Structure formats: structure tokens, C-alpha cells
Amino acid sequence: MSLQSFEAVIFDMDGLLLDSERISFNTFRETLKQFNLKEDNELFYQMIGKDERSWRKLLKESLSDKIDTDKFARVWSDLYQREISKPIPVKDGAEALLTYLKELKMVTAVATSTKTKMAKEKLKNAGLLESFDLIIGGDQVKKGKPHPDIYLLVAERLSVNPQRCLALEDSENGVKSAVSAKMSVIQIPDMVQLSEELKKLGHTILGSLEDVVGYDFVSKKTIN
């Protein structure tokens, strides 16, 4: 079983297609400094893959006793927006994989927790927007990742069975979302190490998007 066996391939964006999680992380740390707060990598890691409503809630639960979290979010957002106005590096293997899928005439989509408008801007700046048939952002569903809603919506819009879709993710929340939607899942970890609990989901874990093209889902290995 190979890529040709699927009817659609669905990509996460930040940390999977674009090397943007590090930008988010660095601006988060800078915002902590501006508010005279100590570094809190664990809090940031918990927010990875969540939509804006969810990470704002987590931020409030964690820091509201110390600061105005709405102001914190505004400062962080301003710093982040300034950085992503510059070209965002594309992750290794992304362009080659997308070219290969185009040659296969494979349907491709993006399912990202980022708001749709911003996601399209990011992908356009990276030269990847035209590679996708559909872009769905976290603002289009009531429940973001790790709930399955966004992946189910993508499948519905594409008129494909979720079980005939391959989802590519980097984060724990994203993997849980796609697995809950009954999709085949490949995870390319980015900034956060995999937990033992996540490994129990039985999804495929690869080191890079470069490994996806030759991956055989039966033998569970990449065939060059």
C-alpha cells in the first residue's frame, strides 16, 4: 500500500509544511520577557496545534493570575505577524512531495489550526498555495484539534471517505485529531518529543517529509 492507494492527502501547515513553529516559539519567549515572566517552554508546547480559541483559554488558565492575558496575546501576535511577513522557510521535502502528488493527480488539502485567511497568506508567501485544492482553517470549525472536526470537514468538502485519506501532521494535537477522524496518519515530529501515550495510537512516525514518497504502509518502511 503506497500513496497511490489514497484518494486525498491532507497536510497540517505550521511545523509540517512551514518552519513556523520556531518563529512562534521565539516570539512567545520574547513576549514572556516583555511581561517579566520566566521562560515556560511547557506552556508553549501545550499550545502547539491548537486553534486560537483553545490556546487563548490555556494562556488564561496558566497566566491570568500574573498578567492581562489578552494584552499578552496582542503583543505576541504583533511580534509574530512582524516575523511571518518575511518569507517563512519551507520544511525539507515539502516541495518535492507536493510535486510528486501533483504528478499523481492526487487531491491535496490543508487542515490547519491557523485562521483560513492567515493560512492562505502564509502559503502564498511560501509559494505553496497553488499546490492545494482546499484550505481549511481552525476558524471554520467549532472544535479545533485534537477534536476530529477539521479533518472530517476537509473530507466532506472533498467528497471523500475519511478512511481513504492520508493525514500528515507534526503535533500531538494534530495526530489525535486525524486519528479520531479515522484517517491514516503519518507524523513528522517538529519541536516536541513524542510521548509514550501518543505512540500507542499506532500511527506512522517518520523523520522528514522526504521519507513519505517511498513509504510502504504494508511493510512499514520507506522503500528507495
Active site residues: 12
Q: Which pairs with CB-CB distance under 8 Å and at least 24 residues apart come from 194-200? A: 198/172
Closest CA to 48 of 159, 185, 151, 189: 189
Looking at the DSSP bridge assignments, the partners of residue 204 are 186
3-state secondary structure of 222: strand
- What distance in Å separates the CA atoms of residue 50 and residue 39, rounded to the nearest whole number? 20
Please work out, in degrees rounded to the nearest 5, the angle formed at the alpha carbon of residue 144 by the alpha carbons of 138 and 145.
115
